[in-house]
């Protein structure tokens, strides 16, 4: 092993440095996944318990260290249960970037890419969203490109019909028995309507975001999907992906973002999607600049 330097009695090798760098990257990625969710608070709670356990053990306090030791013993199991969402997200990211991913393999075949592109026109969806927004009719539409989302589709009513503006308008019509919940679109077909989505646990969302927006963000955290939201209250249209939301979008912005999702696979990060507060500030600035 190549020895780099000594700190007191500690011998630091190149492997140790690589180990520390990898752990730092891993911890940073975990922090990025958990940021803004209640999981951070649970993680800090866990960490303080673990530190207390180490102190109590070093001080040889038998009873307390035995009790905390029991708790630490089931720590891994408890962590899996408590951090299910974050672990799912983490595995999803790894699965998405791995070379074995079906989509990644298919991307290399030009005829396959062309076939997928031909399959699907998003114009009826954008027009339907605009019409729904204009009449203050709420809607929730999930775009999936890698799976039919059977688990979520089965929570609602299966449809399996080609997308059309009329069909979307009748699903989300306030008098329709299908209007509650979300519609799922996969490869140009409406797979299901009235689907129940997981609700996000983020506690720093603007107050105006009720259950519809929270369900969209929750779905984008749990799966590799893009979710379109039409607000019943304001008629504004938003998109959610990777736990982030782009608020109050124009038709052109909608088209660009949906096409990006379907054919380019751009992840939404803190760097390329500002917070809702910043988005509002930017929009105000744009209006001022035009005036
Ligand atoms: N878990 C869920 N999965 C799917 N749809 C949901 C879920 N929770 C709520 N909804 C939908 O959201 C509707 C309630 O929306 P709510 O008014 O609370 O949301 P909001 O974010 O304030 O949106 P809006 O601006 O449209 O009022 C429900 O009628 C239902 O259709």
For 154-171, the pLDDT digits (tens) are 899 999 999 999 999 999
For residue 218, the ligand 1 atom closest to its alpha carbon is: 1
The mean pLDDT value for 204-225 works out to 91
Model pLDDT for residues 53-73, shown as the tens digit of each residue: 989 988 888 898 888 888 887
| Whole-number average pLDDT of the chain | 84
Residues 23, 151 within the same domain: no
Q: Is 5 within the bounds of a domain?
A: no
Out of 175, 211, 237, mutate this one to test ligand 1's pocket (max ligand atoms within 8 Å of CB): namely 211
The residue from 97, 129, 161 where one domain ends is 97
* Domain hosting residue 131, numbered range: 119-290
Q: Is 177 within the bounds of a domain?
A: yes
Residues 79, 221 within the same domain: no
- pLDDT of 99 reads 54
Residue 250 pLDDT grade (very low, low, confident, very high; cuts 50, 70, 90): very high
Residue 138 pLDDT grade (very low, low, confident, very high; cuts 50, 70, 90): very high
**Residue 285: HSE in the Cβ half-sphere, 13 Å Cα cutoff:** 6
Buried/exposed 260-288: b ≥16 CB within 10 Å, e otherwise: ebbeeeeebeeeebebbeebeeeeeeeee
For residue 212, report the distance from its CA to the centre of ligand 1, in Å: 3
**CATH (domain of 172):** 3.40.1700.10
Query: Which residue's alpha carbon is nearest to atom 8 within ligand 1?
Result: 211
Q: Please indicate whether residue 8 or residue 114 has the higher confidence score (pLDDT).
A: 8
Q: In whole angstroms, what is the distance from residue 283 CA to residue 271 CA?
A: 18
- pLDDT of 107 reads 56
Please state, in angstroms and as integers, the Cα–Cα distance from residue 154 to each residue in 47, 159, 189, following that order: 39, 11, 15
List pocket residues of ligand 1, CB cut-off 6 Å: 138, 140, 180-182, 196-197, 199, 209-213, 215, 231-233
Query: Which residue's alpha carbon is nearest to atom 10 within ligand 1?
Result: 212
Joined tokens for residue 121: 């026109």
- Please give the tally of structural domains in the chain: 2
For residue 56, report the distance from its CA to the centre of ligand 1, in Å: 48
What are the backbone angles phi and psi of residue 74, rounded to the nearest 5°? -100, 10
Residue whose C-alpha is closest to residue 230's, from 243, 248, 205, 206: 248
The mean pLDDT value for 258-287 works out to 81
Residues 68, 186 within the same domain: no
For residue 140, the ligand 1 atom closest to its alpha carbon is: 5
Q: Is 81 within the bounds of a domain?
A: yes
**Residue 224: HSE in the Cβ half-sphere, 13 Å Cα cutoff:** 19
For residue 41, report the distance from its CA to the centre of ligand 1, in Å: 26
Q: Is 218 within the bounds of a domain?
A: yes
Residue 117 pLDDT grade (very low, low, confident, very high; cuts 50, 70, 90): very low
Joined tokens for residue 237: 């249209």
Q: Is 255 within the bounds of a domain?
A: yes
For residue 210, report the distance from its CA to the centre of ligand 1, in Å: 6
Residue 43 pLDDT grade (very low, low, confident, very high; cuts 50, 70, 90): confident
- pLDDT of 235 reads 95
For residue 152, report the distance from its CA to the centre of ligand 1, in Å: 16
ipTM value for the complex? 0.94
Return the percentage of the chain with pLDDT > 70, whole number. Answer: 87
């Amino acid at each position: 092993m190549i020895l780099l330097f000594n700190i007191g009695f500690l011998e630091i090798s190149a492997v140790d440095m690589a180990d520390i760098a990898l752990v730092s990257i891993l911890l940073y990625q975990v922090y990025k996944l958990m940021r803004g969710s209640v999981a951070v608070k649970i993680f800090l709670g866990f960490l303080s318990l673990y530190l207390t356990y180490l102190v109590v053990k070093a001080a040889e306090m038998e009873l307390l260290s035995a009790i905390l030791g029991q708790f630490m013993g089931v720590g891994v199991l408890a962590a899996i249960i408590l951090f299910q969402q974050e672990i799912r997200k983490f595995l999803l990211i790894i699965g998405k970037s791995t070379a074995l991913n079906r989509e990644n393999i298919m991307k290399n075949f030009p005829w396959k890419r062309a076939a997928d592109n031909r399959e699907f026109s998003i114009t009826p969806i954008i027009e339907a969203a605009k019409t729904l927004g204009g009449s203050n009719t709420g809607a929730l539409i999930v775009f999936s490109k890698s799976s039919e989302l059977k688990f979520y589709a089965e929570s609602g009513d299966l449809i399996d019909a080609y997308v059309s503006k009329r069909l979307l308008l009748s699903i989300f019509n306030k008098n329709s028995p299908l209007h509650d919940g979300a519609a799922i679109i996969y490869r140009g077909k409406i797979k299901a309507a009235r689907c129940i989505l997981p609700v996000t646990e983020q506690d720093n969302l603007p107050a105006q975001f009720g259950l519809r927006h929270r369900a969209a963000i929750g779905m984008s955290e749990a799966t590799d999907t893009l979710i379109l939201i039409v607000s019943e209250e304001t008629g504004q249209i938003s998109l959610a992906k990777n736990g982030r939301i782009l608020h109050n979008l124009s038709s052109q912005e909608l088209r660009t973002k949906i096409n990006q999702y379907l054919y380019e696979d751009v992840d939404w990060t803190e760097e390329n999607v500002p917070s809702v507060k910043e988005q509002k500030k930017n929009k105000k600035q744009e209006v001022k600049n035009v005036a």
